[in-house]
Chain A
Amino acid sequence: MNQTDLRELEDRCIQECSPWCVASCPIHVDVRAMCSAISKGDFDTALATVTKTVPFPRIVSRICDRPCESSCKRTESGDSIEIRALEKAALSFGSSKKTKMRPLAAKGFRVAVVGAGLSSLTAAFDLLKKGYEVVILEGRDQLGGKVREFLGHGLVEEDIDGDFAVLQDSRLDIRFNQKFGVNFSTNDLTDEYSAIYLGMGDLAVEDPKLRNFITDLKIDPLTLSTQTERLFVGGGLVRPNQAYSPITSILDGRRAAISIDRFLEGVSLTASRINEGPYQTRLFTNTDSLGSSFRTPSGEHHEGYSSIEAIDEASRCLQCECLECVKVCEFLSTFGAYPRKYVRRIYNNLSIVMGQRHGNKLTNSCSLCGLCEEVCPGDLNMGQVCRSARQIMNRQGKMPPSAHEFAIRDMDFCCSEECSFARHQPSMNSSAYMFFPGCRLGGSSPKNVELTYKYLTERLNGGVGIMLSCCGAPADWAGKEDRFAENIASLNSHWVEMGRPILITACSSCHSILKKAMPKKKLLSLWEIMDSCGLPPVRDNLSGLTVCVHDPCASRNEPQTQRAVRNILLKLGVRIEELPLHGRFTECCGYGGLMCFANKDLSSRVIKNRIEISDNAYLAYCAVCKDHFLSQGKKTYHLLDMVFSGNEDGEAFNRPVNFSLIRERRRFLKISMLRSFWNEKMSIATDYDMIKLHISTEVKDLMTDRMILEDDLKIVINQTQKTGRRLLNKSNGHFLAHHTPAKVTYWVEYSPHEDGFVIHNAYSHRMQVVEEATL
């Protein structure tokens, strides 16, 4: 990831784009912030928000032509927010500590501003603040120009006086009765001033020669500069036949002041002026469930809203923002921000050379499920960002070992001789198909793997082989590219040896991994085959049952698989109630991306949120999803439970499985299948396998929580039986032994019992202790 990639990714997240009111306001008053403050009754902050941008707030809050209100999202269902009335309320009820302008240090240039309407006075105001001396040349004998036409029409003299009072500054020289073309000419101005702004209204120029001069000016709309150096033009002059827009006049004055400042500073007039003036925002705000809402009437006050009414009105503001992804993702909401911020944090985390990397947990917590991309108006996929960041961390040697090591060890076990194998169908020597059940189905229910294999051999012609192994998803999710590539190469060579059969997957993760990594292979999901080849005899006890289908996140882009699952359920007589997030918009169960290893608490919350959506039993067609939901007591069927056992099987509601049990079942599956299908006897390979452990439920739960396997304990005990190295508890006679088979040191407190050992406690650490005998 380089700076360009980062910018491109940040740009896709539109959360920080301006709301419609702000974008359509020529000078971008932060209306959203103002409404937020007023809704809390904080009129001081609201006033500060307005005066930060608006030079003459009393006038603007009375006569602004308010383009903001017509762009307000509220108009999609009801009335716009009364923004101008709220500005007025901010002025009425807010107090400001700011009494006068605080200009920058004098810059030594004198600028002429011709005219005294809103554009000229804004230019003068902004230029004064920037440290310039300003001379206003006004044809009449008072300030205000067109603004004065509003007197008696919502505007009073005090508003004008109050607003223009800020212009009392020693660097400002106001000269009245100075008519352009009568009292002075363009040449007079260019001789005397460093820059000139012509902002007098259309009517101010009566001299035909001057009119021609102005008509001939080529005005750049972005900078308001002209072909005459030092001369800038704006206001009513440049829009002779348009309705008067006070707020656009203010924009002109502001634009001209920026240009004049840049011109006199000798820097680019055009650089970085994007989104100056009104523009189309890229923000998205979901208004799907927006109820109607209408403007708060202003009671008896002729002078606008009372403070209570203003609070009511401001509370109608939607506070427009996007957060579409954050709303549907526990991971994105947990870390307290949104993708634009996250990609920056992840990028910074990758860039740290020395020091603490605070973004590791963020990077490793994502399930990589891709729901964010589905709901994102900018198609930003945080999963892809996190996955590639993990790859970089591995390449840098900066991936915390504890994040994924357990899962990778588990994957290695699945691919080992202990539980992997490939065979053609019994008594056949070629395979048209090959069943790839994946490692988690066998770990969850070996019986369902055997029944499915039998079913496939009965329904399909040309031979159905089988391969028990892992697809490599854990390595892919952990960002371990080498380990993943190695696994795919191994799967590929087995597949070639088997005669390039059509692969049948029972797990959506395997399906998506194989589809991506082995693109030339023909892949079918088990569910499509079951849908088209017919089901085993259906038990009638399922009819009347209602379930919610939980589509695994890896099936997100497999609509045909999702359809097949629903067809099967209908054939089984099961009623389906769809979860709000299903199909393309389904959620992860908390396992994807190895979330449950890198951030267990988050994974638990993900499970909890998902299972609480409906009281119905859930139907999963990924073994991990089922096991995850069961772990928090949610009644969850696997589709194969229903297909083969109807509603009778207690397996759907069994106590949740733990890692040791999953491992045991995988080992058993290989032994059992080789024996029952191929009549082969498999010998037990390890020397610790015969050790028998007695473990209470409490200790088993503790071990699951600490990610300690029964095999780990057997290895420690086996080792200590050989060496005699252990500690003895003087009061209860328990032994305590430790051993470091690979990277983790396991401690086991145990006592011998009949044919084996009772386990009292188990814990582990990663730090290595250097143990040396004292000679």
Chain B
Amino acid sequence: MTEYVSRDDFSQWMCGECGLELVMKRVEVQYMGSGYPVELPTCSKCGQVFIPEVLAMTKMAEIEKLLEDK
């Protein structure tokens, strides 16, 4: 399981619904029929996940492209 998000990426953000700090938690990401476990900042109560811009626009985009060409 790879860690893609550092503490600095999410320390400014908290859950706007529950008012709780985000914690790193193992969640599942899926695309094109494949699923992977990833550690992502998550609200420990409602499960809302935070995906930082840099993760979405770089690593995720790369993996999406690889899976699309499979």
Contact = CB atoms under 8 A, between A and B. Distances in A.
Interface string A620-642: 00000000000000000000000
B47 A771 contact: yes
Interface stretch (A199-207, A356-364, A375-383, A489-497): A356-364
A559 interface: no
Interface in B30-57: 30-32, 40, 42, 44-51, 53, 56-57
B28 A770 contact: yes
Interface stretch (A28-36, A131-139, A723-731): A723-731
Contacts, number: 99
Contact of A772 (B12, B16, B47): B47
Contact of B17 (A403, A706, A724): A724
A768 B48 contact: no
B69 A726 contact: no
B64 A765 contact: yes
A585 interface: no
Nearest to B22: A727
A442 B31 CA distance: 36
B7 interface: no
Contact of A747 (B16, B40, B42, B56): B56
Given A730-B14, A772-B47, A774-B47, A357 B29 contact: no
A218 to B, nearest CB: 60
A729 B50 CA distance: 12
B70 A355 contact: yes
B57 A763 contact: yes
Contacts of B17: 723-726
A738 interface: yes
A402 B48 contact: no
Contact of B30 (A724, A738, A768): A768
B36 to A, nearest CB: 9
Contacts of A394: none
A745 B40 CA distance: 16
Contact of A771 (B49, B57, B60, B66): B49
B8 interface: no
B16 A774 contact: no
Contacts of B22: 727
Given A357-B70, A360-B68, A767-B64, A736 B44 contact: no
A723 B46 CA distance: 12
Given A356-B70, A738-B51, A774-B47, A402 B64 contact: yes
Contacts of B48: 725, 727, 771
Contact of A727 (B15, B30, B32, B53): B15
A774 B56 contact: no
A736 B43 CA distance: 14
A742 interface: no
A288 B12 CA distance: 66
A775 to B, nearest CB: 10
Contacts of A772: 27, 47
A768 B51 contact: no
A767 B47 CA distance: 17
Nearest to A723: B17
Given A735-B16, A765-B60, A767-B60, A773 B53 contact: no
A306 interface: no
Given A738-B51, A765-B51, A727 B13 contact: yes
A356 B66 contact: yes
A756 interface: no
Contacts of A770: 27-30
A774 B45 contact: yes
A400 B69 contact: yes
A729 B31 contact: no
A761 B53 contact: yes
A768 B68 contact: no
Interface in A719-775: 723-731, 735-736, 738, 745, 747, 761, 763-774
Interface residues of B, number: 35
Contact of A769 (B14, B49, B61): B49
Nearest to B56: A765
B64 A774 contact: no
Contact of A401 (B12, B42, B63, B68): B68
A726 B56 CA distance: 17
Contacts of A403: 68
Interface in A582-630: none
Contact of B64 (A706, A724, A736, A766): A766
A401 B22 CA distance: 32
Contacts of A738: 51
A357 B16 contact: no
Nearest to B28: A770
A702 B60 CA distance: 18
A735 B29 CA distance: 23
B39 to A, nearest CB: 12
Nearest to B36: A767
Contacts of B68: 360, 400-403
Contacts of B70: 355-357
A423 B64 CA distance: 44
A726 B16 contact: yes
B10 to A, nearest CB: 9
B27 A771 contact: yes
Contacts of A736: 13, 16, 50
Contacts of B61: 765
A726 B40 CA distance: 16
Nearest to A727: B13
Contacts of B12: 729-731
B69 A360 contact: yes
A771 B30 CA distance: 11
A770 B61 CA distance: 17
Contacts of B31: 766-768
Contacts of B32: 401
B25 to A, nearest CB: 8
Given A727-B14, A736-B50, A774-B44, A769 B64 contact: no
Interface string A496-529: 0000000000000000000000000000000000
Contacts of A767: 29-31, 60, 63-64
B14 to A, nearest CB: 6
A400 B47 CA distance: 30
A735 B48 CA distance: 13
* Residue of A725, A745, A767 with most chain B CB atoms under a 10 A cut-off: A767
A401 B45 CA distance: 34
A770 B65 CA distance: 20
B7 to A, nearest CB: 14
B51 A769 contact: yes
Given A401-B68, A726-B16, A730-B14, 16 more contacts: A356-B66, A360-B68, A400-B69, A403-B68, A706-B57, A725-B17, A730-B13, A745-B51, A765-B56, A765-B61, A766-B60, A767-B29, A769-B29, A771-B47, A773-B45, A774-B44
17 contacts: A356-B70, A358-B69, A400-B69, A401-B32, A706-B57, A727-B14, A735-B16, A738-B51, A765-B51, A765-B64, A766-B60, A767-B60, A769-B28, A770-B30, A773-B45, A774-B44, A774-B47
Interface of A: 355-358, 360, 400-403, 706, 723-731, 735-736, 738, 745, 747, 761, 763-774
Q: Closest 7 CB pairs between A and B?
A: A400-B68, A728-B16, A773-B47, A765-B56, A726-B16, A770-B28, A767-B31
